[in-house]
Amino acid sequence: MSDSKAKPRKSDPVKAASDVDCQECDTAARLGLSTEQGVAVTRDASRAVGADLSLPHIEAAAKIFSLLGDAGRLQLVLRCMEKPQTVSELADATNMSQSLCSHHLRHLRDQRILASERRGRHIFYQIDDEHISRVVRDVFAHVTHD
């Protein structure tokens, strides 16, 4: 009989389950939630949308709402809903410096709110997909509804 304890292997299901729990705990903590709150919000969101969601999905949605919650970034999104535009066009239209505009555009692109396409020497920004356009339109329909 050996005195040493066996170390769990990477393929050990008990170890893998605890790693997932730690990842969920980390995600919940980034969102300012307890683990129990993370489980509850995931359950409620899954029911509300009729899809099996995870805490990273909740985190991604919260990030998108956070980005759209800034009036400057929202203005960039609204301009890109009209037509594809360059950084300089967006900066001029929004009275932002090109540096600040580029910074906002990078965050919007990282979350797939906007997409970029190079055409010759210029990069054009546009809405990534119709989902974002619908969200923005629905929010404005909501706030203008009597």
| The predicted structure's pLDDT at residue 27 | 86
- pLDDT tens string 107-135: 999 999 999 999 999 999 999 999 999 99
Confidence of residue 12 (pLDDT cuts 50, 70, 90): very low
Confidence of residue 28 (pLDDT cuts 50, 70, 90): confident
3-state secondary structure the chain: CCCCCCCCCCCCHHHHHHHHHHHHHHHHHHCCCCHHHHHHHHHHHHHHHCCCCCHHHHHHHHHHHHHHCCHHHHHHHHHHHHCCEEHHHHHHHHCCCHHHHHHHHHHHHHCCCEEEEEECCEEEEEECCHHHHHHHHHHHHHHHCC
Confidence of residue 61 (pLDDT cuts 50, 70, 90): very high
- pLDDT tens string 29-50: 888 888 889 999 999 999 999 9
| The predicted structure's pLDDT at residue 21 | 59
What does the mean pLDDT of the chain come to?
Answer: 87
Percent of the chain, pLDDT > 90? 73
Confidence of residue 97 (pLDDT cuts 50, 70, 90): very high
With a cut of 60, say whether residue 7 has pLDDT above it.
Answer: no
The strand order across the sheet containing 85-86 reads: 85-86, 122-127, 114-119
Q: Phi and psi dihedrals of 27, rounded to 5?
A: -65, -45
With a cut of 50, say whether residue 4 has pLDDT above it.
Answer: no
Say what the pTM is.
0.78
Comparing CA positions, the residue from 140, 81, 64 lying closest to residue 90 is: 81
With a cut of 50, say whether residue 145 has pLDDT above it.
Answer: yes
**d(C-alpha 125, C-alpha 81), whole Å:** 10
